[in-house]
Amino acid sequence: MVDIGGEGGEEEEEDSESSAATATATAPPEVEATLTRLASYKNVQGVLILARPNGIILRSTGSLFALPPAAAPANDEESAQPNGEDDVLVPTTSELARRYAKAALNMVEAVAAEVKDVDEDQTDDVRFLRIRTKRHELIVTPDEQYILVVVQDPPH
């Protein structure tokens, strides 16, 4: 249950599914402006905002995570679409967003655990991760409540 912008009254409590939708709909204008600005960069393919600690996608934008016009969000393999080659099922892009979200959350948690192992007496936190693969570069910025993930084409 989430209390959005109120004093904690019962009428403002919602289940987690509708809370994410409400949180997205009432995002401050500066958050929307930042997302639009990030997504407008030439090499940026997608942007995700995840809730901590569970990695729920609060907001996604960009061509990498955009659904085709006739597609509905995928919840499992049954809603995957054939790619035309031997009828192999290809996940819809919302499934791709979930995969990136899970990967980013796992990387942040793993790196944070290793940072704590290096110096147990310090209260150091992971502030920024940059992971480059052949296809994409992930820029991950975690904080206490959210994780920002930017997926871009790697510079050559």
Is residue 5 pLDDT above 60, yes or no?
no
pLDDT at residue number 85: 53
Q: Give the model confidence (pLDDT) of 90-107 as tens digits.
A: 554 478 999 999 999 999
pLDDT at residue number 156: 75
- For the chain, the average pLDDT equals 75
Question: Where in the chain are the domains?
Answer: 27-152
pTM over 0.75: no
Cα angle 107-113-119, degrees, rounded to a multiple of 5: 135
CATH architecture of 27-152: 2-Layer Sandwich (3.30)
Is residue 54 pLDDT above 90, yes or no?
yes
Higher pLDDT, 74 or 41: 41
Q: What is the mean pLDDT of residues 56-76?
A: 73
Among the residues of 26-136, which ranges form H helices?
Answer: 29-40, 93-118
Q: How far is CA 82 from the centre of its chain?
A: 25
Beta-bridge mates of residue 51: 146
Higher pLDDT, 129 or 21: 129
